[in-house]
A and B are shown apart, each in its own frame.
Chain A
């Protein structure tokens, strides 16, 4: 197909903390020196922030670098962390408070803020536009463009107005080629283009497989007398401990009587009967959390996978014509359970690298190995190195012994032990077969604290144009029923936090149904399907959740 094309110096894919920081810094550098430098940023959400979901306790280190004056510029960091509490939930009604000195030092949050990362990104998006970045929300990058020498030369945006079977509808608008001297991929965890780039350039040849978690989160409005602005609670243990699954939960008290509550389930879980969604619904009944939520009302729901493999799983981040940054590569600091500041910092480093390279040599398609050097010399490398054994220790020793190990490692020895643990087993391969694993019976939601998937997805404001090709594609359409169902009781029905996948019993046979319009773009199916048979692709522009203040 003949497409229109537009040329820029730099094309950024993804309007999250990493991509926005890279775009903003590039324009800042160009403006200081009065140089011409065009930057465009495409974002698949209907607006910047629409697809952003995070806790979030936010460490402002990278924001301080980007906008030292952010306080006066109105950045939405309104709630400083006032107190930090860590609990071990030993069962459905008991909890043990972990004294501060026994918490890993990385879990201390002095100087950090409780934010809605979506709102922070909305604000960064406005700053980017003010600085002259061409920000295009509602335009997903659907494919990477390569030149004849195999270098990345840009991306193509998704076609609009394509019907269910691929036919062109009335308002058909073909996608545009966005050509850049450098293309920065910042799609977040398990980006669908990042995944292709990692494979094409073998970027992960020398690292461990990436490891993931699935975060599910709700925003609640609670009665004023139960609201403690600035309170941060983390817990581990029940209910995930019942199925020997790893993960943890959080509750943060924001401004205006709102709190967020969420749970991250480690996607290396074994039991195919596990439902991360129902585990989270159960969590809210624990007295530790129930005491705050009681009498409140739920206003928002969302889910997103996180890349938590850390330094051992970090692929090469540069290739001919582009860079892979933020969670698209996997820069999250799991011991701190924070990825925003490291993502932003990786964006700042990307901008510095590209700016310096283009100042010397304007040619397109360069492989900027300098990025690796800059990264290695940076603060994120130091912190990721220090905590490198946190995640693998948990996988190796389990939550409790792993926590003790990490306390010694991080608090006493500052991560200076000479060894590095590895975890070579990809998350999709850990599942036990359905007949070996105990079936988990989840209680029915009470519609006060716990809810079903349908009413939850409703609160994510998710919408996709109905008449379009399904964006969740199967390599082999027979696998779900012929193999996954008898072997693993088709776990997609349970790991998907939006109810996208259903096994429907028709009169004669079972049928695999994909309700793609419910998709929250969390990418869990692409990660956890034991047959690696589900490929997540970008739907028509603007589709997906419309998160407010997530």
Chain B
């Protein structure tokens, strides 16, 4: 069984993002970029499936400009066998990404497609769900545990207020939540080896998919700055302020 794992290039989680002066987007020039943390967890999950003998090959795929090869190389250094980049300069919405990934699943016919539950830049939490709809396959989102049993995969999902276990028939789409695993470090020798692993680049325009945007970004703005707190002298004063000034009780 092949496992396809999607990785997205996003601003590194340690970087404090800043809105551009013209409010068109956040500033991305000269900012450190990384694999989306949830995608990294998905890669680790795929590698564990291979190491436990349940998967035969792990294929990493990304959609975006040429520089996304850096993130694919990271996935290869972690242990993926090969990588595919669907190259496009366009800023894509989840539906377009799902459609492009769908073309790869048609070609590769993976038993499991792993994705992060959402990316930390767009926070859409849609691509996995849309991909499973396009594939007509089962979906197990927010996975905190994955267990393949024959032609089925049991997924423990993190739902509001607890955990839910579902059995999905393969092929299935699974999106990774935070507690699924802790991704490994890529070691130096593996980074060297990753440079020689196959990385195929496909032009998105050759795939005959409509990736035109459905949405228009009107404005990006920073959240309002938090006001400084004040110190109250007594419980009575606190209650009074919560009631009359803040209006929360």
Q: Which residues of chain A have a CB within 8 Å of any CB of chain B?
A: 4, 6, 46-47, 49-50, 116, 118-119, 122, 134, 136, 139, 157, 160-161, 170-171, 173, 176, 178, 221, 257, 299, 458-459, 461-463, 541, 546, 548-549
> Are A6 and B189 closer than 8 Å at their CB atoms?
yes
> Are A46 and B21 closer than 8 Å at their CB atoms?
no
Residues of A within 8 A of B184 (CB): 171, 173
Asked whether any CB of chain A lies closer than 8 Å to the CB of B166, the reply is no
Q: Which of B32-51 contact A (CB under 8 A)?
A: 32
Asked whether any CB of chain A lies closer than 8 Å to the CB of B31, the reply is yes
- Whole-angstrom distance from the CB of A256 to the nearest CB of chain B? 8
Closest residue of B by beta carbon distance from A135: B191
Closest residue of A by beta carbon distance from B228: A447
Question: In the bound complex, how far is the Cα of B180 from the Cα of A153, in angstroms?
Answer: 42
Asked whether any CB of chain A lies closer than 8 Å to the CB of B187, the reply is yes
- Whole-angstrom distance from the CB of A363 to the nearest CB of chain B? 25
Question: In the bound complex, how far is the Cα of B192 from the Cα of A6, in angstroms?
Answer: 10
> Are B14 and A461 closer than 8 Å at their CB atoms?
yes
Residues of B within 8 A of A160 (CB): 185
Question: In the bound complex, how far is the Cα of B31 from the Cα of A122, in angstroms?
Answer: 11
Closest residue of A by beta carbon distance from B13: A463
> Are A461 and B16 closer than 8 Å at their CB atoms?
yes
Asked whether any CB of chain A lies closer than 8 Å to the CB of B109, the reply is no
The residue that B187 contacts in the complex, of A50, A173, A458, A461, with Cβ under 8 A, is: A173
Q: Which residues of chain B have a CB within 8 Å of any CB of chain A?
A: 12, 14-16, 18, 21, 29-32, 182-185, 187-189, 191-192
Known: A221-B21, A461-B16, A546-B14. 15 other contacts (CB 8 A): A6-B192, A46-B32, A49-B30, A118-B30, A119-B30, A139-B188, A160-B185, A161-B185, A170-B182, A171-B183, A173-B187, A176-B188, A458-B16, A459-B16, A548-B32
The residue that A546 contacts in the complex, of B12, B18, B188, with Cβ under 8 A, is: B12
Question: In the bound complex, how far is the Cα of B183 from the Cα of A161, in angstroms?
Answer: 11
What are 6 inter-chain pairs, A to B, with CB distance below 8 A? A46-B14, A46-B32, A50-B32, A173-B187, A299-B18, A461-B15
Question: In the bound complex, how far is the Cα of B34 from the Cα of A461, in angstroms?
Answer: 14
- Whole-angstrom distance from the CB of B167 to the nearest CB of chain A? 28
Residues of A within 8 A of B191 (CB): 136
Residues of B within 8 A of A49 (CB): 30
Question: In the bound complex, how far is the Cα of B189 from the Cα of A139, in angstroms?
Answer: 12
- Whole-angstrom distance from the CB of A456 to the nearest CB of chain B? 12
> Are B15 and A548 closer than 8 Å at their CB atoms?
yes
Closest residue of B by beta carbon distance from A224: B21
- Whole-angstrom distance from the CB of A218 to the nearest CB of chain B? 14
Question: In the bound complex, how far is the Cα of B46 from the Cα of A249, in angstroms?
Answer: 53
Question: In the bound complex, how far is the Cα of B194 from the Cα of A134, in angstroms?
Answer: 12
The residue that A176 contacts in the complex, of B15, B29, B182, B189, with Cβ under 8 A, is: B189
Question: In the bound complex, how far is the Cα of B185 from the Cα of A293, in angstroms?
Answer: 43
> Are A136 and B21 closer than 8 Å at their CB atoms?
no
- Whole-angstrom distance from the CB of A336 to the nearest CB of chain B? 26
> Are B32 and A157 closer than 8 Å at their CB atoms?
no
Please give me the 5 A-B residue pairs with the lowest Cβ-Cβ distance, nearest first: A463-B14, A160-B185, A173-B185, A176-B188, A549-B30
Question: In the bound complex, how far is the Cα of B32 from the Cα of A139, in angstroms?
Answer: 16
Given contacts A461-B15, A461-B16, is CB(A171)–CB(B187) below 8 Å? no
Question: In the bound complex, how far is the Cα of B189 from the Cα of A378, in angstroms?
Answer: 38
Closest residue of B by beta carbon distance from A161: B185
- Whole-angstrom distance from the CB of A56 to the nearest CB of chain B? 14
Question: In the bound complex, how far is the Cα of B192 from the Cα of A406, in angstroms?
Answer: 51
The residue that B15 contacts in the complex, of A139, A157, A161, A546, with Cβ under 8 A, is: A546
Residues of B within 8 A of A170 (CB): 182
Residues of A within 8 A of B182 (CB): 170-171
> Are B189 and A548 closer than 8 Å at their CB atoms?
no
Residues of B within 8 A of A47 (CB): 32
- Whole-angstrom distance from the CB of A412 to the nearest CB of chain B? 43
Question: In the bound complex, how far is the Cα of B33 from the Cα of A546, in angstroms?
Answer: 11
- Whole-angstrom distance from the CB of B182 to the nearest CB of chain A? 6
- Whole-angstrom distance from the CB of B43 to the nearest CB of chain A? 13
- Whole-angstrom distance from the CB of B196 to the nearest CB of chain A? 12
Residues of B within 8 A of A178 (CB): 188
Interface-central residue, A157, A170, A461, by most chain B CB under 10 Å: A461
Given contacts A46-B32, A134-B192, is CB(A176)–CB(B187) below 8 Å? yes
Question: In the bound complex, how far is the Cα of B12 from the Cα of A4, in angstroms?
Answer: 29
Residues of B within 8 A of A462 (CB): 14
- Whole-angstrom distance from the CB of A297 to the nearest CB of chain B? 9
Question: In the bound complex, how far is the Cα of B16 from the Cα of A160, in angstroms?
Answer: 25
- Whole-angstrom distance from the CB of B222 to the nearest CB of chain A? 10
Closest residue of A by beta carbon distance from B188: A176
> Are A116 and B30 closer than 8 Å at their CB atoms?
yes
